[in-house]
Amino acid sequence: MGELMTDIQYLQGVGPKRAELLKRELGIFTLSDLIHLYPFRYIDRSTIQKIASLTPDLAYVQVQARVVSLNETPRKRLSVIVEDDTGRLELVFFKGIKWNKERLRPGMTFVFFGRPQEFNGHINIVHPEVDPPQEPGSQGTLTGVYPSTEKLKNAGVTGKVMCRMQAAALNLCLPEIQETLPEYILQDRGMVSLKYALANIHFPKDSYALQKATSRLKFEELFLLQLSLLKQKYVRSRSELGLVFNKVGTDFNSCYNSLPYDLTGAQKRVIREIRSDMMSGHQMNRLLQGDVGSGKTMVAVLSALIAIGNGFQACIMAPTEVLAQQHYANIQKYLAPTGVKCALLTGSTGTKDRRAIHEGLEDGSIGLIVGTHALLEDNVVFKSLGLAVIDEQHRFGVDQRSKLWSKGPVVGTAGSALERDRAILGIVRGRGPLRGVSEADVHSPEHSRQIPPHVLVMTATPIPRTLAMTLYGDLDVSVIDEMPPGRKPVKTMQISPAKKPAMYKFIEDEIARGRQVFIVYPLIFESEKMDLQNLQNGYEEIIRRFPMPKYKIAIVHGQQTNEEKNFNMSAFAEGRANILVSTTVIEVGVDVPNASVMVIEEAQRFGLSQLHQLRGRVGRGAEKSYCILVKDYKTTKEAQKRIDLMCATEDGFEIAEEDMKMRGPGDLEGTQQSGLPINLNIASLAKDGILLSEARAYAAKVLDDDPTLEKKENAKLVSELRKEKYSVKDYSKIS
């Protein structure tokens, strides 16, 4: 490993200054880091084009031409005229003028490579790469283009310099490269060796060699990632004790039988999956995905009632106070036919009420608690927490969620006999002694331990399948892919600012019918002051157009205190305000069935996921609903594509897939906080979905044969999984 771990500054042509830049800009500290920085595209240098055939729409071209003349202008610009047998071409240099004047002498022939552009009616190339025609590789095959930054380019680390550095590093490191995959996998998959792959990913002999190298490196990256995740899941599913809920209970049946509508097939399927987990004897860790309004809350309530029916408690944790209050109001209605006591705990809960809630949780009289992060406080103690439901998972930090996990019942020395029997005897029976613990030992103090509650994570941000397999690869995933009957589609339209007078007239008509309206402005972090000003200007415009006392308008934004936000949101939710002017703080959590119009100002500035979440705030009642996207006159092609897609479909999963293709997985709404479990060097979750599925299936096959990777032939895999890159954070115990 000598050369591989050599500091990058000692590579020929680098030195301390460039090394500092490479470390800061690209995270390259060693030669190993450098050779694992792969080209993101390739340029075909195999063809020479004639000057007469050049057009400004060509990406990169290569011409062989003779220097005719040079002209340096007083404004530090060197113009070089070159010609071939079809015409003349201007080459322009703003840097390295002295050096270029010395080497580009009239009459000499070179190969010039660059991007053609049009200037004053003529084609020119600015700062082309220059090679003598006889230099090996100057008319070679495929040349890699590496990630770079403005600072690196300004410091002279050009594409050509990067290629030279890679060649030097590979020359030193290739003899040291050890195979990372077992021989049987290489043969099974028909893959090339790691040495071949690294040599040809940087300097491919031809397109076939490049394809073989790319395929090998992508598969390895995805396979090891999935192997790491699935191994965690396998170990957990066989070792983590879980509370056993054998029955459904009368409260579940009372609630289910009094529902005014039938559950969808998808809801029923998900409840069956959850019930199966709860009976398995292992801790449930399940991610529940469902589009806005698909009925996740109902699934959460019925799951909670299963826990309660088995003598345990349940909690539902929401990211905001408004959402917690909303859940509580809805859940109270669902629980009316049952005997279950439900409570609400948030930051605003008064001291007297808080004390009573703490007592009720500790003595078990409160069966279901709904709350915010207030549930995580140390003085919130459950008698026997059996199920924790976390809504909008990405809004909570990992450390916060782990606190909920630690609130499960302690069995063996504490808790009632009922708890002990159900928690441990239920697991031991039919399964034989567990880790040497017999039924006679259950009440023994040395065998006391905490049993984690079952965990259900709910997200209303549809996650593309490939991303779910990576972010939540060690969790079980359930999807509600069916909308409840009676939910009407939201009509989505796009308008320019010129159409706003007609839009205001439409809003007026909707309010006259007794409906309410959201008007949302962007609040992008980097330009918060400017956006807040836009919001205030918009608010003033709305007040002028919809004056009091005929209209009542509430405003909500992130600069307000919680009290101000809650007061204004409540005014709108309770029907005391006709219009809510807001930033994206209302993206999650405001359920106002009477709201029929969602106006999104400057829609071009929002991501697809945000637009979809905002649209989900309307269409929750029986009335026809509308989403109006107001776009700027200077909307980019990418933004227009997003807006067009929003108008074309309401399918959250289709939107999420497109979002990932457009923006890449690391930028997706809801994932940036947690990031990807590993940084992918070459594979792409957006483009390599089929390969990811193959890699996951192959990883499962390897683990089926050798669950703990103890066999001699899998020693290389164990070694790779120990590397920091693949030590994926264990989401399993914290969901």
pLDDT band at 565 (very low <50, low <70, confident <90, very high): confident
Q: Give residue-wise pLDDT tens across range 615-633.
A: 888 887 767 899 999 998 8
Q: What is the pLDDT of residues 358-377, one digit of tens each?
A: 999 999 999 999 998 889 88
In the chain, the percentage of residues whose pLDDT exceeds 70 is 84
pLDDT at 429: 33
Mean per-residue pLDDT for 226-244? 78
Mean pLDDT of 30-40: 93
Which pLDDT does position 402 carry in this prediction? 65
The more confidently predicted of residues 113 and 82 is: 82
Beta bridge partners of 88: 83
Q: Do the two domains 250-480 and 490-649 of this chain adopt the same fold?
A: yes
Check whether 414 has a pLDDT greater than 60. Answer: no
| pLDDT tier for residue 38 given thresholds of 50, 70 and 90 | very high
Q: What is the mean pLDDT of residues 160-173?
A: 92
Supply the pLDDT for residue 664. 60
Asked whether 21 and 155 are in contact (CB, 8 A), the reply is yes
Residue 379, pLDDT > 60, answer yes
DSSP 487: P
Residue 434 has pLDDT above 60, yes or no: no
- Average pLDDT estimate for 587-599: 78
What confidence score (pLDDT) does residue 269 get? 94
Rounded to 5 degrees, φ, ψ at 145 are -110, 125
- What's the pLDDT at 539? 86
Domain 47-139 has CATH 2.40.50.140: yes
Average pLDDT value for residue range 682-699: 86
The long-range contacts involving 299-303, CB below 8 angstroms and separated by at least 24 positions, are: 299/267, 299/270, 299/271, 299/274, 299/480, 300/389, 300/391, 300/456, 300/458, 301/255, 301/331, 301/334, 301/335, 301/368, 302/252, 302/255, 302/256, 302/271, 303/271, 303/274, 303/278, 303/387, 303/389, 303/456
The chain-wide mean pLDDT, for the chain, equals: 82
Confidence of residue 677 (pLDDT cuts 50, 70, 90): low
Q: Which of 124-138, 493-507, 582-596 is the most confident on average?
A: 493-507
In this prediction, residue 693 carries a pLDDT of: 86
* Fold designation for 250-480: Rossmann fold (3.40.50)
CA-closest candidate to residue 38, choices 210, 157, 176: 210
Per-residue buried b or exposed e for 385-404, using 16+ beta carbons within 10 Å of the residue's own CB: bbbbbbbbbbbbeeeebebb
Q: Hey, what are 639's tokens?
A: 């933004």
Both tokens assigned to 27: 């995270």
Higher pLDDT, residue 603 or 565: 603
pLDDT in tens, 250-305: 999 999 999 888 899 999 999 999 999 999 888 888 888 887 778 888 999 999 99
How many whole angstroms separate alpha carbon 598 and alpha carbon 497?
Answer: 16
Query: Of residues 320 and 492, which shows the higher confidence score?
Result: 492
% pLDDT > 90, the chain: 42
Phi, psi of 375 (to 5 degrees): -65, -20
pLDDT band, residue 222 (cuts 50/70/90):
very high
Q: What is the pLDDT of residues 516-531, one digit of tens each?
A: 999 998 864 444 555 5
Write down the pLDDT at residue 689: 80
Q: Are 449 and 410 in contact (CB under 8 A)?
A: yes
**pLDDT given for residue 395 in this prediction:** 55
Report the pLDDT value the prediction gives residue 428, as an integer from 0 to 100.
35
DSSP state of 281: T
Say which residue the tokens 């996921």 belong to. 609
Residue that wins the pLDDT comparison between 465 and 503: 503
CATH number at 490-649: 3.40.50.300
Radius of gyration of the chain (CA): 31
Domain boundaries, the chain: 47-139, 250-480, 490-649
Q: Which pLDDT does position 587 carry in this prediction?
A: 52
**Cβ contacts of residue 130 below 8 Å, gap of 6+?**
100, 103, 104, 110, 111, 112, 113
pLDDT at 431 over 70: no
- Give the pLDDT of residue 653: 78
